[in-house]
Amino acid sequence: MSNTIRDAALVLADGSTFEGEWSGADPTGGFTSGEVVFNTALTGYQEIITDPSYAGQIITFTYPHIGNYGVTEADDESRSAFCRGVIVRDLARRRSNWRSEGDLTAYLERHGVPGIGGVDTRRLTRLIRDSGAIPGAFGPLDLVDEATLKQAAADEPGTAGVDLVAQVTTPERYTYGSGDLRVAAYDFGIKTSILEQLGEFATVEVFPASASADEIRSVQADGIFLSNGPGDPEVVDYAATEIRSLLDDGGGTPIFGICLGHQVLSLAAGASTVKLPFGHHGGNHPVRDVHSGRIDITSQNHNFAVDADSLAGIGELTHVNLNDGVCEGMRLTDANAWSVQHHPEAGPGPHDARHLFDHFRTEMEK
């Protein structure tokens, strides 16, 4: 890890400028750009950075001290890091943890992720909360000037209308686990911790997001799983078409979706989605089961959500976010299919909602 301090700057599309110090990998062209969002989790920075759902986005960590326990390969949530960059207040110079295999700065360099530290993340987070997720660009000032960064931020398209799933999905089918049940999983950006949960009771056949309904049927699975993933669900219409075909089979095969999988399943059934102002990114969101009244503290990572009103005549709302009333789960009326917006696998976050995997297992065993 280099001790040389390099001045850097972050510029948002509205012209707001933040000073900082460069860390991580030098980006091609001298800067990186993307949709700037914030995550409120206190720990789990490695899992957040390697979550494919952050493709196209720059992650602001609201917790001020990041990197203090280092990194370990076992905590990676995917084969690579797909985020455009990370923004922190204080990037730890020393790491202290018995599991640590390296420091965060070297990890960012190895995975090609640009980083900027020393940023006033409190001011930045308040700005995002007021204006919504906003395009931004940052880079080291020995390679790029602020005028170039401002133009790059203005030119950044954000995540709406962009197929980011194609960037993160597996290029070919593979198998995970060796359980007695068989699950066919669509990979829209699937996390390792989800595969670990499913692998405890099933052999998981993981398919690319472009897989046809016939390819899924060929597995003769006990259940179908729709994974998390990045970006705008309406752009993944090719997957929604195939899932609609699977729903039309009229069989009892359970279908379970998480996050983007929840949104794509809803679109396949005829519901609609909306883009949230700054999304939900964190590990402490209270979600209530509207039938049982049970409240789980959940991990969240999404910028789009299902319009609860559009479920009328299609399905029912099953879970609601107690912070803002956003739809957090639904069940279809005419199919054995249901989904949740939050992340029951956590990684990072609380494990309150992992019982949802048990429900999936029970439905398959029937």
**Active-site hit among 47, 242, 259, 285:** 259
The H-or-E segment that residue 257 falls in is: strand 255-258
Of 262, 285, 319, 343, catalytic: 343
259 catalytic per annotation: yes
Say which residues have a Cβ less than 8 Å from residue 8's Cβ, sequence separation at least 6. Answer: 19, 20, 21, 22, 116, 138, 139, 140, 141
Q: What number of residues does the chain have? A: 366
β-bridge partners, 256: 225, 338
Amino acid at 215: E
- First and final CA of the chain: distance in angstroms? 54
Among candidate residues 329, 265, 269, the one with its CA nearest the CA of residue 300: 329
Burial class of residue 364 (count of CB atoms within 10 Å of its CB; 0-12, 13-18, 19+): buried
Catalytic residue status for 345: yes
343 is catalytic: yes
Paired sense of beta strands 174-176 and 202-208, if any: antiparallel
CA distance 89 to 351: 28
Angle (CA) 269 275 281, round 5°: 105
Residue 21 backbone dihedrals phi, psi, to 5 degrees: -120, 140
Close Cβ partners of 157 (under 8 Å, ≥ 6 residues apart): 135
Alpha helices in 132-282 (DSSP H): 146-155, 165-168, 192-199, 213-217, 237-247, 260-269
Which residues are catalytic, by number?
259, 343, 345
